[in-house]
Amino acid sequence: MALPTESITINLGPQHPSTHGVFRLRVTLDGEVIQDVEPIFGYLHRGTEKLAEERSYTQIVTLTDRLDYTSSMINNQAYVMATEKLAGLEVPERAQYLRVLTSELQRVASHLMGIGFFLQDLGAMGTPLMYCFRERERILDLFEMVCGARVTVSYMRPGGVTQDPPPEFWPALRTLLSDFPHYIGELERLISENEIVLARTKGVGLLSRELAIDSSISGPNLRASGVAWDLRKADPYDVYDRMDFDIPVGSNGDSYDRFLVRVMEIYQSLKIVEQCFKEIPNGPVRTDVPFFFRPPVGDAYAHVEASKGELGFYLVSDGSIAPYRCKIRAPSFINLTALTDMLLGWKVADLMVIFGSLDVNMGEVDR
């Protein structure tokens, strides 16, 4: 005899480390089965876009660090490219190589955090996360050599980068490139051969190719659904057109594929860093640009392949020292649009696994 049941709506979260009280899910359940989900955010909103309209073009760089704060270098890169397009600034070749090199190191660091926290959501009790933190620290050591900061780096500037790396940077980078493939391989084996991880992620939280495209999903989440779209290939910027690398794609669009694509992308990023290390030319690292420069009246949009997808900056100039309007296309925000569809029909135990596999950062959701 079937027992009559009544659905219940509850508030769930925060659970994922990146949400720390600024994201919750209003979930309607039939027993443990998810019937409806409403993502609720906005608690962190810092008004970054509006703040940018009150600062000079150079001062805005520090605001970009605090969007996806696990991916500061790439945030810098997207913003300064938009500014350079708006102002018609040329970037020295060595500076372009340094941008690509540091951005790819940042991608590795960001993916390590995405993988580590994803496994934490699976209940891994911290060990894989500490492995990821351990290797990320070595990248942050390099960032500290380059610019004196580890997380909010503010390394890039309109027209180039702040400074050349010191002499000790290059041997340290050589050592990292030699060691890292072994550590990433160790992490990959630890996870891909774990029967609990496979049972909890294979076929869980499917994101179809069609839904991913219709929802404007980008980055590893899109590629895990079988779409080989990467702005570094589709619309190359800086010196990516000189780099030899592959675009890892998944076949099922499930939580496992989203994890595996990030692991494979780490190998490709290291491959790009290796090429930059070998090919970087001598020369200046920055075009001489006044601190309070005034781009001509007009608008410009520039985008990059950030660690979480397409990150774009749209700037409007009225000829003053600050942008008249600033609009940010944040991948974490847009990647949440398909979350409800991905969760329906799954159980509460699967909810945080699926959410964690998207690897969102609330700093750029509530920008």
Residue 193: predicted pLDDT: 81
The structure's pTM equals 0.94
DSSP H or E run through 10: strand 8-12
Q: Pairing mode, if any, of strands 298-306 and 160-161?
A: unpaired
pLDDT of residue 126: 75
What pLDDT is attached to residue 44? 81
- The predicted pLDDT at position 1 comes to 61
Cα–Cα distance for residue pair 18/136, rounded to 1 Å: 17
Please, what are the domains in the chain?
57-339 (1.10.645.10)
The predicted structure's pLDDT at residue 23: 85
With beta carbons less than 8 A apart as the criterion, state whether 75 and 311 touch.
yes
The predicted pLDDT at position 15 comes to: 63
pLDDT at position 291 is: 87
Cβ contacts of 325 within 8 Å, gap of 6 or more: 53, 314, 315, 316
Alpha helices in 148-241 (DSSP H): 169-192, 195-201, 209-214, 220-223, 231-234
Strand partners, 160: 157, 286
Please give the chain's pLDDT, 367 residues, in tens. Answer: 667 678 999 888 766 655 666 888 899 999 899 999 998 888 888 889 999 999 999 999 999 999 999 999 999 999 999 999 999 999 999 999 999 999 999 999 999 999 998 888 888 777 888 889 999 999 999 999 999 999 999 999 999 999 999 999 999 999 999 999 999 998 888 888 888 889 999 999 999 999 999 999 999 999 999 999 999 999 999 999 999 999 999 999 999 999 999 999 999 999 999 999 999 999 999 999 998 999 999 999 999 999 999 999 999 999 999 999 999 999 999 999 999 999 999 999 899 899 989 999 888 998 8
- Cis amide leading into 14 (omega within 30): yes
Burial of 291 (0-12, 13-18, 19+ CB in 10 A): exposed
Of 28, 3, 24, 30, the closest CA to residue 12 belongs to: 24
